[in-house]
């Protein structure tokens, strides 16, 4: 069995990096985090107590989940916590410090990896130094291994030298990639009493030593999986007897990119994948595609999503095929609260290793921490999304993504100083 208790921040990050787990399969990661937090006296919420199961998006099939859990067991995940998860990943951990008279502060970090192959040549440091992914087709290519490390590092720091008379809630969120885990975690009771929430992200093109007190205004986002079902026929002998699913997909694609832009703000549309396993001489009976839309606001995102669904349905009707769509993931948007941004700026300015602090930056991409942030704000609390520079040598989601591990203690220090000042 593996234990994180004797690992320093770099060792912990490298262990997680070598054992990446994609969304809703983070069994080993969740169990290891839960074990150390339990030993540190945190109250744990696992499984259906950490996320609302019925709100989950883009959940893999049962066989995939079972195989991932077995792999985690084989790789040293403590059995006690695997059983308590009951097939659902993610953990919320809370602990009251001092006399408990201070605020409840939430920290949200994501823990999932991406479906992509990691580089294995010596030009890539994880490969050269022996902590490259051991899971084929899975990779921590966005820094979530570092995020989980910072979350646990903060628990260690406050345990060793609290200086905080309040309650700390740590949200180790699964399935951020694709926007699948934030919504179900936000639909639990754990955010109702949070006075201040800080989400955190490493890298994002910033150098180590830079802190962004608020990445904000991400684009709201929705992802659709689409399946067209037609009727096969011989393309030469009897093409009229078929109903062409691939032709319906092509019609949809052509018209999706023609959705009118909106006067109220930025919108986006992209078809990222089209697949039809078919011979050249057979009318396609099945075609799938993966579509995403984005908007500057939640309302603009809904505009794009509604128009996309209408076009997809129209393409199916035009070509006399059946169509099914399912929502794979979804995010919203937010703006950070002034007081909390100022608190982070002040705290980061005194942190070791920090040489530049920036107040606010528009995010530009999408992020499902938005649901947790909005929930806290709607309950009367304040929230922000903190960026910690990490000098990543390659872009996020690429095969050579890596972080400067000197960013890990900086992240812990910035968050600890902020929590104490609150």
In-domain check, residue 402: yes
Whether residue 87 is found in the same domain as residue 176 = yes
Secondary structure (H, E, C), 221-249: EEEEEEEEECECCECCCCHHHCECHHHHH
Q: Do residues 420 and 103 lie in contact, with contact meaning Cβ atoms separated by under 8 Å?
A: no
Q: Are strands 196-202 and 91-96 parallel, antiparallel or unpaired?
A: unpaired
- List C-alpha distances in Å: 109 to 16, 202, 248, 292: 14, 10, 40, 24
- The parent domain of residue 138 ranges over 9-216+334-421
Contacts of 49 (CB under 8 A, 6+ apart): 92, 188
Beta-carbon count within 10 A of 11 CB: 14
Are 89 and 203 contained in the same domain?
yes
Q: What is the pLDDT of residue 364?
A: 83
Beta bridge partners of residue 267, listed in sequence order: 295
Pairing of strands 104-110, 167-173: parallel
- Cβ neighbours around 263 below 10 Å, total: 5
Based on the domain organization, do 141 and 210 belong to the same domain? yes
CA-to-CA distance for 169 and 180, rounded, in angstroms? 21
Question: Within a domain: residue 47?
Answer: yes
The pLDDT value given to residue 162: 79
Same domain, 106 and 236: no
Specify whether 19 is located in the same domain as 121. yes
CATH number at residue 304: 3.30.70.360
Q: Write out the two tokens for 134.
A: 């051991």
Query: What CATH number has the domain bearing residue 204?
Result: 3.40.630.10
In a domain, residue 3? The reply is no
Residue 2 in domain: no
Q: What gap in Å lies between CA 10 and CA 19, rounded to an integer?
A: 14
pTM > 0.85: yes
Q: Indicate whether 324 and 345 sit together in one domain.
A: no
Domain end marker among 315, 331, 347: 331
Same domain, 341 and 326: no
**CA atoms of 284 and 295, how far apart (whole Å):** 33
- Among 309, 331, 353, where does a domain finish? 331
User: Which regions in the chain score pLDDT beneath 70?
Assistant: none
Confirm if 124 and 400 have CB atoms less than 8 A apart: yes
Residues 171 and 119 in one domain: yes
Q: Give pLDDT tens digits for 200-233.
A: 999 999 999 999 999 999 999 999 999 999 999 9
Which of 95, 110, 103 is closest to 171 using CA atoms? 110
Q: Tokens standing for 310? A: 């209408």
- According to the model, what pLDDT value does residue 234 have? 97
Same domain, 349 and 382: yes
pLDDT of residue 178: 96
Of 308, 331, 354, which residue constitutes the final position of a domain?
331
List, for residues 161-186, the tens digit of each pLDDT value: 879 999 999 999 999 999 999 999 99
Domain count, the chain: 2
């Amino acid at each position: 069995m593996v234990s994180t208790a004797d690992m320093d921040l770099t060792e912990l990050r490298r262990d997680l990096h070598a054992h990446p787990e994609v969304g809703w399969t983070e069994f080993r990661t969740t169990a290891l985090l839960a074990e150390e937090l339990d030993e540190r006296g945190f109250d744990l919420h696992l499984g259906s107590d950490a996320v609302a199961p019925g709100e989950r998006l883009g959940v893999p099939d049962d066989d995939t989940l079972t195989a991932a859990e077995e792999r985690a067991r084989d790789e040293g995940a403590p059995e006690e916590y695997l059983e308590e998860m009951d097939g659902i990943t993610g953990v919320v951990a809370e602990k009251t410090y001092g006399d408990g008279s201070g605020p409840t502060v939430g920290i949200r970090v994501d823990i999932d990896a991406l479906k992509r192959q990691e580089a294995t040549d010596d030009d890539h440091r994880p490969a050269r130094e022996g902590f490259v992914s051991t899971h084929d087709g899975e990779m921590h290519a966005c820094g979530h291994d570092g995020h989980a490390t910072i979350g646990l590092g903060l628990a260690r720091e406050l345990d060793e030298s609290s200086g905080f008379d309040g309650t700390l809630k740590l949200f180790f969120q699964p399935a951020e990639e694709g926007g699948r885990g934030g919504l179900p975690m936000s639909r639990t009771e754990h955010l109702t009493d949070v006075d201040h929430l800080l989400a955190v992200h490493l890298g994002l093109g910033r150098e180590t030593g830079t802190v962004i007190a608020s990445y904000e205004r991400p684009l709201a986002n929705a992802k659709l999986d689409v399946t067209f079902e037609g009727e096969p026929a011989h393309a030469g002998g009897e093409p009229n007897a078929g109903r062409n699913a691939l032709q319906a997909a092509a019609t949809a694609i052509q018209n999706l990119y023609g959705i009118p832009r909106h006067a109220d703000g930025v919108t986006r549309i992209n078809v990222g994948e089209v697949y039809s396993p078919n011979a050249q001489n057979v009318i396609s009976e099945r075609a799938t595609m993966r579509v995403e839309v984005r908007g500057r606001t939640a309302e603009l995102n809904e505009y794009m999503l509604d128009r996309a669904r209408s076009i997809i349905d129209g393409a199916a009707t035009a070509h006399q095929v059946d169509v099914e769509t399912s929502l794979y993931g979804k995010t919203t948007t937010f703006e950070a609260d002034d007081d909390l941004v100022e608190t982070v700026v002040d705290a980061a300015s005194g942190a070791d290793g920090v040489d530049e602090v920036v107040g606010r930056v528009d995010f530009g991409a999408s992020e499902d921490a938005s649901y947790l942030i909005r929930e806290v704000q709607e309950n009367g609390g304040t929230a922000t999304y903190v960026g910690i520079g990490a000098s990543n040598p390659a872009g996020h989601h690429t095969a050579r993504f890596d972080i400067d591990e000197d960013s890990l203690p900086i992240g812990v220090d910035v968050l600890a100083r902020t929590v104490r000042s609150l």
